[in-house]
Amino acid sequence: MSITNFHRQTSVTHLRYHFVFCPKRRRKVLVNGVADRLKMLLAEKSAELGWEIVALEIMPDHVHMFISTGPDVSPIQVMHALKGHTSRILRQEYPRLNTLPSLWTRSFWASTASYVSAETIQKYISEQKTRD
């Protein structure tokens, strides 16, 4: 497990968020090529913004993401950046996604994690595909 700390002139921070977000109407559209492309887009955009995805699991109807960001970024800014970017590109590349009024719901679930619970969250995310 890598530990990303954000070093600033006057501070060092270690902020990690566990997000869960869903396609509109919780449709099972995150399958096959869409899931693979979503994973790639999330990684690219996160790297561009200086964030690190610690764990990611894409289920057909929702996404679990554990991400490390700097202290100047709120959870809503993370979701806005990632959901907006991925929605635009995925809907261009996969026209069948345009049957939904929007790709993502406006809602999401977020939780913070400390050093102690980070392993628990990573294990939970990695075991998602083995659940019935």
Phi first, then psi, for residue 124 (nearest 5°) are -60, -45
Q: How far is CA 12 from CA 90, 101, 106, 113, in A?
A: 35, 41, 32, 16
Q: Residues 28, 61: contact at Cβ < 8 Å?
A: yes
Decide: residue 37, CB within 10 A, 0-12 exposed, 13-18 middle, 19+ buried.
middle
- Contact 54/66 with Cβ under 8 angstroms? yes
Residues 109 and 21: beta-carbon distance below 8 Å: yes
Q: Is 124 a catalytic residue?
A: yes
Q: Which of 17, 94, 115, 124 is catalytic?
A: 124
Catalytic residue ranges:
124
